[in-house]
Amino acid sequence: MIDRLRKKFIRLCMLSFVTVFFVLFAAIYLFTEVQTSARLDTLADLVSENDGIFPDFEQFGPEAGQILPPEGVNQESPFTTRFFTVRFDGEGELLSVDIRAIASVSEEEAQAYAAAALEKGKERGWLENFRYKVYPAADGTAVVFINGADTREPNQRFLLTASSVFIAGSVVVLLLVILFSKQAVKPAVESYQKQKQFITDANHELKTPLTLIQTNLDIMESESGPNEWLSDIREETGIMAGLVNRLVMLSRMDEDQSTLEMRPFSLSEAVSETAAAFAGTIRERGITLEQDVPPGVSCTGDEAAVRQLISILMDNAVKYCDRDGTIRVGLSGGRRPVLTLENSYAAVDSIQLDRLFDRFYRADKARTYGSGFGVGLSIAKAIAEKHRGEITVSSLEGRAIRFRVKL
């Protein structure tokens, strides 16, 4: 129990840490990309508005009739901006390639970049480390490319550094979480231990008086003979003893050290024989039992526990099946066998299916005390989990309940 809680706590902490990092990482990445694109678009606009040439900084200024330079543009921008322009006529034929402001791109490469940009059909975009803009020119169409490598590379180095810091930080956080996880889950473990101890103590404290009551009932019946009141006391005593035994079973199922004996057995026989045990009750209620249980399906596990799981599901199906209804039992083989059990129940929509496995939850509040304790399905779920399986419940078109057990 302690190990499971610690592992769950560690997983949740690390998942939270990783989620926060990725959110921050994505936010930083998007912000830098948007900022970089906006800055390069400003430069591309300047070049496109100046007929493919970067304008002289002298044309910007506070004098009358002049405009202020765009944000990020200064006296060094004409010399530090690396760009090239490719022009096409109205028929799409190449007119000119201007690579005077960049040395790392040849005319052939510039033509290839321009053709790729036109093929995309977008006004702006990225091609490798170049931000481009397609704009109409006097003699056709032109494409200007601004080199963004000097901006993107520092951003990439920053993100790489952030990733390295995150990895190192994750290791440190993981070690700290592992170190302090025992203390973090200690209150929950203590509460669980107290609950388990309470159930164990209650079992010992209740078994003695229950046994004494049953013994005294035997003596009284032998002396005065059976009567209605003694029968009621015996029935209620038996119900109480059954509840105590089931609570103890649940407590043991919750323990880390499983007492189940895992060995191969015939699951087909277990399902068929357990279902057959309910034949009398099924006939009395006019229920039809349909079985699709192929022979030869085997399973590795505790046969007695699996039979108990099947018995709980069958008992639940009989109790909650409509009179003259149908119960269907199905089994499929494979590496992980699957058992399905369906029963017709017209009031299925009134049941909180997500609570059926809760302890002491009873779907039909009108049922009498002796009809069940509301812990049977909890035991079935515990047995399935002990076999590293799962049990689920669902509604079939509002007319039936289906339990599915994957072992």
Contact indicator for 357, 319 with CB cutoff of 8 Å:
no
Q: Does any domain span residue 228?
A: no
C-alpha 169/C-alpha 28 separation (Å) is 18
Contact indicator for 288, 327 with CB cutoff of 8 Å:
yes
Q: How many residues does the structure list for the chain? A: 407
Tokens of 227: 């009567």
Q: What pLDDT score does 221 carry?
A: 80
Q: Does any domain span residue 347?
A: yes
Tokens of 51: 């007929």
- pTM score, whole prediction: 0.51
Q: Which domain CATH number covers 382?
A: 3.30.565.10
Domain final position from 94, 119, 147: 147
Contact indicator for 288, 326 with CB cutoff of 8 Å:
yes
Q: Does any domain span residue 346?
A: yes
Q: What pLDDT score does 98 carry?
A: 92
Q: Does any domain span residue 161?
A: no
Q: Does any domain span residue 244?
A: no
In a 3-state reduction of DSSP, which class is residue 340? Answer: strand
Q: What pLDDT score does 367 carry?
A: 47
Burial class of 22 by CB neighbour count within 10 A (0 to 12, 13 to 18, 19+): exposed
Q: What pLDDT score does 369 carry?
A: 41
Q: What pLDDT score does 370 carry?
A: 43
Q: Does any domain span residue 98?
A: yes
Residues near 311 by Cβ (< 8 Å), separated by ≥ 6? 274, 277
Amino acid at 211: T
Contact indicator for 68, 124 with CB cutoff of 8 Å:
no
* Total tally of structural domains belonging to the chain: 2
Under DSSP, the state recorded for 77 is H
Contact indicator for 20, 195 with CB cutoff of 8 Å:
no
Q: Does any domain span residue 234?
A: no
Domain final position from 91, 120, 147: 147
Q: Domain of residue 102: give its range.
A: 83-147
Tens-of-pLDDT digits for all 407 residues of the chain? 567 777 888 888 888 888 988 898 889 888 988 888 888 998 898 888 888 888 876 665 555 355 556 676 777 788 888 999 999 988 888 999 999 999 989 999 999 999 999 999 899 999 999 999 999 988 889 999 999 888 888 888 888 888 888 889 888 888 888 888 777 777 777 776 776 676 666 666 677 777 788 788 888 888 787 787 778 787 777 767 766 776 666 666 665 545 678 889 999 999 999 998 888 888 888 899 999 999 989 988 889 889 989 998 998 888 888 888 999 999 988 788 999 999 998 888 878 787 787 766 665 554 444 445 567 788 888 888 888 889 999 888 878 899 999 98
Q: Does any domain span residue 399?
A: yes
CA distances from 33 to 125, 256, 287, 361, 366 (A): 12, 51, 68, 54, 64
In a 3-state reduction of DSSP, which class is residue 74? Answer: coil
β-bridge pairing 326-332 and 288-292: parallel
Domain final position from 129, 147, 165: 147
